[in-house]
Amino acid sequence: MAPPIPPTSLTARPPPFPCSQVKDRVYKQRIRIQDFFGDFDRLRCGSITPTQFARALGLAGFTMTEAQYSELSDAYPSAVADRPVCYKDFCADVNGVFTKYHLEKAPLEHVEPKPASLLDTERFSAKPTRSLGTEDDERVDQILDAIAEGVRKRRVEVKPFFNDACSNQNSPMRVNHVTKQQFKQVVRAHVARELDDEEMSAVADRFGDDDGFVNFVSFSACVDPKEELYHPYRRSLQ
């Protein structure tokens, strides 16, 4: 059996905070981050200037402060004097969220099936995320029943409205989640205009988490019309 590969200095040091944000978005949206740096490296030396590094991240859709750009570029130094940022090391570090490098040299090394730190374990749940207490839960259940009845009468589907908000370039783009403000805007505009602020906040809290996001998939599963199973002999039996 081949010996395990010793960690390099790149993987041994903890990544800067902005890098965790980049990894999160690259993994969820399947972004090929290296494609945005090629035009700035005509000589293919693997290094660019800090300004080019910030521009490439901007083209990839990342918006950071000047201090965050500086922190991120300083974390990947290059030996080239006039190009002090090694974007190849940065891309290799970011793409590590998909798999481990050099597995051909260590085929028995364990690889996690998915980065649990980047994904919410409740993202596919069809039930409310949290309990607000017996009385509040019963009150929210009544509100959800009223919303579901209104949705059924209007013959609309709720989930597509949230998909538009979730995929907005200005949103955090967290899988199956939107911010509380986005949740309230979508519900107010397309789902239940009659809810007051207190009821809206109660519903958002019922499907929310500690990070300020709301699981819209779970909410949609509770209020969207349930699909009726097709029965080929129902009419003849009647």
pLDDT tens per residue, range 24-43: 778 877 788 899 998 999 88
Q: What is the pLDDT of residue 124?
A: 55
Is residue 12's pLDDT more than 60? Answer: no
Q: What is the pLDDT of residue 101?
A: 80
Q: What are phi and psi of 134, to 5 degrees?
A: -60, -50
CA torsion angle 53 55 60 61 (round to 10): 120
Least confident of 118-127, 174-183, 190-199: 118-127
Maximum average pLDDT range among 2-11, 126-135, 146-155, 228-237: 146-155
Q: How confident is the model at residue 48 (pLDDT cuts 50, 70, 90)?
A: very high
Radius of gyration of the chain (CA): 24
Q: What is the pLDDT of residue 119?
A: 61
Q: How many angstroms separate the CA atoms of 207 and 147, rounded?
A: 15
Mean pLDDT over each residue of the chain, to the nearest integer: 77
The CATH superfamily assigned to 14-118 is EF-hand (1.10.238.10)
134-223 carries CATH number 2.60.40: no
Q: How far is CA 229 from CA 72, 217, 224, 234, in A?
A: 53, 21, 15, 11
CB-CB neighbours of 96 under 10 Å: 15
pTM over 0.75: no
Contact 188, 195 (CB under 8 A): yes
Q: What is the pLDDT of residue 171?
A: 66
All CATH 1.10.238.10 domain ranges in the chain, comma separated = 14-118
CA torsion angle 95 99 101 107 (round to 10): -170
